[in-house]
Amino acid sequence: MIALGVLDNARAAQAFVDYLAGLGVKARLSRHDHGVEIWVAETDQPRAQSEFERFLADPHHPRYHEASWNNGSTSNSLSYGKPMSQMMTTVLNRAGPLTLVVMAACIAVFIPWAMKIQQPLFYALHFFESWEAFSLDQGWRLFSPVLLHFDPMHIAFNLLWWWYLGGQVEKRLGSGKLLVLLLAGAAVPNLVQFAMVGPAFGGLSGVVYALVGYCWLMGRMAPQRGIVLPDAYMSFLMIWLVLGFAGFMNMANWAHLGGLLVGLAQAVVDGGRHRR
- The residue among 205, 227, 209, 220 whose CA lies nearest residue 268 is 220
Positions annotated as catalytic residues are 205, 256
- The residue among 63, 78, 64 whose CA lies nearest residue 17 is 64
State in words which class domain 2-82 has: alpha beta
- The residue among 241, 271, 250, 235 whose CA lies nearest residue 197 is 250
List every span in the chain annotated with CATH 3.30.70.2350. 2-82
Whole-angstrom CA distances from 122 to 118, 145, 191, 204 are 6, 8, 17, 15
Q: pLDDT value at position 74?
A: 47
Count Cβ atoms below 10 Å from residue 122 Cβ, excluding itself: 14
Just give the CATH number of 94-275: 1.20.1540.10
In the DSSP assignment, the letter for residue 126 is S
CA 51: distance to chain centroid? 25
What pLDDT digit, counting tens, does each position of 175-188 carry?
999 999 999 999 99
What pLDDT digit, counting tens, does each position of 99-132 carry?
999 999 999 999 999 998 888 888 889 999 998 8
In sequence order, the 6+-apart residues with CB closer than 8 A to the CB of 139 are none
Whole-angstrom CA distances from 28 to 31, 37, 140 are 10, 8, 53
Mean pLDDT of the chain: 87
- Mean pLDDT over residues 183-206, rounded? 93
Count Cβ atoms below 10 Å from residue 78 Cβ, excluding itself: 14
What pLDDT digit, counting tens, does each position of 50-81 carry?
999 899 888 888 888 787 766 655 455 554 55
List every span in the chain annotated with CATH 1.20.1540.10. 94-275
In angstroms, rounded to a whole number, what is the distance separating the alpha carbons of residues 215 and 169?
A: 8
- Mean pLDDT over residues 150-171, rounded? 93
